[in-house]
Amino acid sequence: MKTAIVSGANGFVGNAVIKELLSNHYSVQGLFHNDVSRLENHPRLKLVKYSADKVNLLNNKLESSDIFYHFAWRGISGPERYDYNIQLQNIKQTIEILKMAKKIGCRRFVCAGSIVEYEALAAAHVNGNRPGTEYVYGAGKLAAHMMCKYVASEIGIDLLWGVITNTYGPGEISKRLVNTTLRKLINGEIPKFTSATQNYDFVYIDDVARAFRLIGERGVPFSEYIIGSSNPGQLKTFLSEMNHAVSPNIHFEYGDISFTGVGLPIEIFDCSKTEVDTGFKADVPFGEGVLRTFNWLKNHAPL
């Protein structure tokens, strides 16, 4: 029997990965610290509640597993995304969980990174640039990534880092771009954007879950893997596709908002290493994915 532990089990990505693992014959221990409203009963799923400030107490609650997937991260959207105290706590907790995973006998530790790590790094190294607080979350992910590499090497556990470009899909209730735009369309509002010429990519949640399973199974130790659609482009291209797929009678407006961030080169979004090492290839086209998400939001999510 293949075995895995998943922290952040009740989160958007963590929950999707658990479903993916269970459907591929894994026995899973799911860690959560709030409620379990997303999670369904399954004979091969054991739920374990824990406190984020008492990670050491997990040692006696968990059984050794092949792979530890770490998705627990507070403050991925909203005001907490910009709170450096919360992001510093996330870094510390990630390192403590990494060390705990080694103690209980896990061979591999797979962590969720983000493309905003690259944005935060670029913003910090542009002379004269005064980056805003929108990069605090990315800086937190980047710091956790680097520190985990050093710690994992020292204690002898394989580290694999899955860098999510931008994920979306049914089950997400955050205030990130896809969700916010779809909610506006449901309410009959006209979405307004920057000129939207910066490079972007989006990947559907089911594809993300499959990518993480494959990274855990086949990834090369101490590698990072971009998780995207393999078809990146300008943000406006994706938004236009969303407009056409979901609400062609409402016309998006561009250029009314100033873009103050740092753009990334298109090659940053290259998924070829992920495809070669793990066999992953995204399946769900963006237009189809946003339509599924739109229909889910209309029927399930509070607006």
Residues 225 and 62: their CA atoms lie apart, in Å, by: 27
Can you tell me the mean pLDDT for 231-244? 97
In 3-state terms the chain splits into helix, strand, coil percentages (rounded to 5) of 45, 15, 40
Confidence of residue 233 (pLDDT cuts 50, 70, 90): very high
Q: Answer whether 71's CB lies under 8 Å from 7's CB.
A: yes
pLDDT band of residue 58 (cuts 50, 70, 90) is confident
What pLDDT was estimated at residue 215?
98
Mean predicted lDDT score pLDDT of the chain: 92
95 within domain boundaries: yes
Contacting residues for 75 by C-beta, under 8 A, at least 6 apart: 81, 83, 86, 87, 90, 137
Instruction: Name the β-bridge partners of 31.
Output: 7, 48
**Mean pLDDT value of segment 79-106:** 94
Residues 62-78: what's their mean pLDDT?
Answer: 92
* pLDDT of 257 strictly over 80: no
Residue 25 included in any domain: yes
Average pLDDT over residues 265-271: 96
Buried b (16+ CB within 10 A) or exposed e, 208-234: bbbbbbbbbbebeeebbbbbbbbebeb
Contact present, 135 and 121 (Cβ < 8 Å): no
**Cβ-contact 59, 100 below 8 angstroms:** yes
- Could you tell me if residue 120 is inside a domain? yes
Residue 123 lies in a domain: yes
Residue 114 domain-assigned (yes or no): yes
Residue 303 pLDDT > 80, yes or no? no
Residues spanned by the domain of 51: 2-164
How many whole angstroms separate alpha carbon 31 and alpha carbon 48?
5
229 token code pair: 């659609």
107 neighbors 156 (Cβ within 8 angstroms): no
**Local structure of residue 219 (DSSP, 8 states):** P
For residue 226, being part of any structural domain is answered with no
pLDDT at 151: 98
Mean pLDDT of all residues in 213-221: 98
Q: What is the pLDDT of residue 55?
A: 80
Residue 187 lies in a domain: no
Looking at per-residue pLDDT, the higher value among 123 and 223 belongs to 223
What is the per-residue pLDDT for 198?
Answer: 93
Number of domains into which the chain is organized: 1
- Looking up residue 51, the CATH number of its domain turns out to be 3.40.50.720
Query: pLDDT value at position 301?
Result: 58
Encode pLDDT of 163-197 as tens digits.
Answer: 999 999 999 988 889 999 999 999 999 999 999 99
How does residue 300 score in pLDDT terms, banded at 50, 70 and 90? Answer: confident
Report which of residues 34 and 151 the model is more confident about: 151
Contacts of 250 (CB under 8 A, 6+ apart): 185, 188, 190, 191, 243
Residues forming a β-bridge with 69: 6, 110
Range 231-242 average pLDDT: 97
Which tokens belong to 100? Answer: 């705990």
In a domain, 32, yes or no: yes
Check residue 37 and give its pLDDT. Answer: 66
